[in-house]
Amino acid sequence: MTRDIINVQYPVLDHTESVANIEITKQTVTVANGIKIKDAFSNKNDSLFIVIDTTTNAGSLLTVKAGDAYPNSMLGDIVIELPKGISAIQIQDLSRFQNADESIDLDFATGFTGTIFAVAKWAGVRGVNN
């Protein structure tokens, strides 16, 4: 399966580094492809949120796939119920789902319709133009 790839979106800090703003880009989910969140672990501070807007009338299911980078992936996939509307998902045991390429793979149940995006905050101080 060739997954559709989305990138984690990070806030742009103002010059005081007191305010951050994210202009969100959503991607429509193609169920047959699934989703790969590229560089999901580059923030290194457990601030990743996966936001899914489910437009399927009865809601749907999301499968967070076990990764291939760490031994605790043997715990397997996890299935999450998605109600109709917006869900913000924060994964607590990130290494369970981490792939060797720093990504996370997601599968959606047949009949799912909706959009997805992922956001995180930067770890540490960085320049405002980065």
- Condensed to tens digits (0 to 9), the pLDDT of residues 49-70 reads 999 999 999 889 999 999 999 9
Domain carrying residue 86: 4-119
Residues 99 and 67 sit within 8 Å (Cβ to Cβ): yes
Calpha distance 110→113 (Å, rounded): 9
120 versus 31: the higher-pLDDT residue is 31
CA separation, residue 105 to residues 14, 77, 124, 126 (Å): 32, 10, 26, 28
Q: What is the pTM of this model?
A: 0.86
Q: Is residue 55 part of a domain?
A: yes
Q: Is residue 96 part of a domain?
A: yes
Tell me, what amino acid is at 28? Answer: T
21 versus 78: the higher-pLDDT residue is 78
CATH of the domain at 16: 2.60.120
Q: Is residue 129 part of a domain?
A: no
Domain count for the chain, please give it. 1
The whole-number pLDDT of residue 21 equals 82
Q: Is residue 112 part of a domain?
A: yes
- Condensed to tens digits (0 to 9), the pLDDT of residues 76-89 reads 999 999 999 999 99
Q: Is residue 29 part of a domain?
A: yes
CA atoms within 13 A on the CB side of 60: 22
Q: Is residue 128 part of a domain?
A: no
The tokens describing 13, both together, are 């800090």
